[in-house]
């Protein structure tokens, strides 16, 4: 199975997974049901910027989960089709709490720069000269994605062209 390049790691929690992934280049937790790829292609995303909502309330730090966490775990349970009970919501909330520290520790996304290849100069064919100035993105130039196999004409094979 091919893993998306923005996924850093994955943790399993019973019938759902939490992926440590970059979403729009921002570190995030992506929560999805195990049957995600087969049935429900829905996932719940918690970005690093919004992670503060899921920690304990400031007014009552020993309450367990923030009000937002209680609300969000209920929505996650419904969205992913994981049932409708307090035990499942608690498991979701605890899994999120368990992963928040790793989310905060994720490094910024490393973005690979694509430098274009450039060729300039003069090309000589026989006694003719041509000025050349060509630029190409190497990621595109070296890619065969989207290409279809084409039968080779016999003239090319024989060298008649």
Calculate mean pLDDT across residues 47-73.
Answer: 81
Contact (Cβ atoms closer than 8 angstroms) between residue 3 and residue 26: no
Considering only 3-12, 24-33, 57-66, 114-123, which range has the smallest mean pLDDT?
57-66
pLDDT at 39: 63
The two tokens of residue 126 are 């026989």
pLDDT digit string, tens, across residues 90-137: 999 999 999 999 999 998 888 766 566 677 778 788 888 888 777 766
Question: What is the pLDDT averaged over residues 21-27?
Answer: 92
Q: Do residues 31 and 47 touch, judged by C-beta distance below 8 A?
A: no
- How is the chain split into domains, by residue range? 7-105, 117-158
Say what the pLDDT of residue 75 is: 94
For residue 147, CA distances in Å to 6, 97, 144, 153, 154 come to 25, 46, 5, 17, 21
pLDDT band at 1 (very low <50, low <70, confident <90, very high): very low
> Residue 80's CB: how many other CB atoms inside 10 A?
22
Half-sphere exposure at residue 119, Cβ-oriented, CA atoms within 13 angstroms: 9
**Block residue for tokens 């919004």:** 50
**pLDDT greater than 90 at residue 146:** no
User: The pTM is what?
Assistant: 0.64
Contacts of 48 (CB under 8 A, 6+ apart): 26, 27, 28, 103, 104, 106
User: In whole angstroms, what is the distance from residue 33 CA to residue 14 CA?
Assistant: 9
User: What pLDDT score was predicted for residue 59?
Assistant: 62
Instruction: Please report which confidence band the pLDDT of residue 155 belongs to, taking 50, 70 and 90 as the band edges.
Output: very low
Distance (Å, whole) CA 54 – CA 140:
42
């Amino acid at each position: 199975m091919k893993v998306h390049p923005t996924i850093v790691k994955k943790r399993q929690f019973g019938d759902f997974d939490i992926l440590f992934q970059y979403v729009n280049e921002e570190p995030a937790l992506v929560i999805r049901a195990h049957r995600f790829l087969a049935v429900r292609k829905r996932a719940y995303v918690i970005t690093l910027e919004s992670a503060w909502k899921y920690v304990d309330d400031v007014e009552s730090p020993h309450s367990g989960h923030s009000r937002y966490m209680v609300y969000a775990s209920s929505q996650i349970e419904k969205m992913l089709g994981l049932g409708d009970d307090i035990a499942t919501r608690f498991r979701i909330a605890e899994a999120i709490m368990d992963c928040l520290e790793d989310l905060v520790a994720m490094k910024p996304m490393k973005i690979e720069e694509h430098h274009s290849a450039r060729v300039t100069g003069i090309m000589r064919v026989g006694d003719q000269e041509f000025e050349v100035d060509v630029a190409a993105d190497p990621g595109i130039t070296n890619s065969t994605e989207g290409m279809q196999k084409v039968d080779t004409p016999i003239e090319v094979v024989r060298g008649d062209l």
